[in-house]
Amino acid sequence: MRITPETAERHTLAILVDNEPGILARVAGLFTARGYNIESLTVTDVSEDESVSRITIVTSASPHVLEQIIAQLDRLVPVHRVTDLTAMGAHVERELALVKVAGRGDHRIEALRLADVYRARVVDATTASFVFEVTGGTDKIDKFVELMREVGLVEVARTGIVAISRGSEAA
């Protein structure tokens, strides 16, 4: 008998949970205890009375492991629903980054040119540095940061991925 390893695929999960202390630790702990990796994690209130939150997690897993992850998340008491946005099909993913770049002269001009190409906004400026705000897909953010390394990258802060399904139905 020969066992072939399953390939890991990137999946975006939307998890609706009761907004209570410790729920994020419980969800993250489920991943940690079983050795699953979280590539990105964001949390926000989604109900008017702030009683329900949405946790968006990006992870890479084989189909079998992903099935286990979803089943284990579903078993947690404060979890209302787990949706695999990747399996649902069309969905929109975005990330926001703040990128601080220092430079003078040509480096400063080049940073502004690159920011224009990537539609990054200047949200703070001094005579020696800029802070750019850039939004888009992970690949776009990665490439922008990579290019800024060449002109004086100082610091990067990223939000993590937020995602929502397309169409008129909720995830």
Provide CB contacts within 8 A for 106, sequence distance 6+: none
CA–CA distance, 170 with 42 (Å, rounded to integer): 18
Q: What is the pLDDT of residue 3?
A: 58
Question: CA torsion angle for 86, 89, 92, 95 (degrees, to 10)?
Answer: 20
CA–CA distance, 149 with 162 (Å, rounded to integer): 25
What is the band of 143 on the pLDDT scale with cuts at 50, 70, 90?
Answer: very high
Tell whether the model's pLDDT for residue 124 goes beyond 60.
yes
Record the pTM: 0.82
Tell whether the model's pLDDT for residue 30 goes beyond 70.
yes
Tell whether the model's pLDDT for residue 171 goes beyond 90.
no
Query: Two tokens at 11?
Result: 């999946």
What is the band of 168 on the pLDDT scale with cuts at 50, 70, 90?
Answer: confident
Residue range 34-38: mean pLDDT, rounded: 88
Q: What is the pLDDT of residue 34?
A: 85
Q: What is the pLDDT of residue 116?
A: 97
Backbone angles phi, psi at 104, to 5 degrees: -130, 160
CA–CA distance, 27 with 54 (Å, rounded to integer): 12
CA–CA distance, 131 with 7 (Å, rounded to integer): 39
| Average of per-residue pLDDT values in the chain | 91
Tell whether the model's pLDDT for residue 2 goes beyond 70.
no
Residue range 33-39: mean pLDDT, rounded: 89
Within 10 angstroms of residue 20's Cβ, the number of other Cβ atoms is 12
* CA dihedral for 162, 87, 13, 57, sign (positive or negative): negative
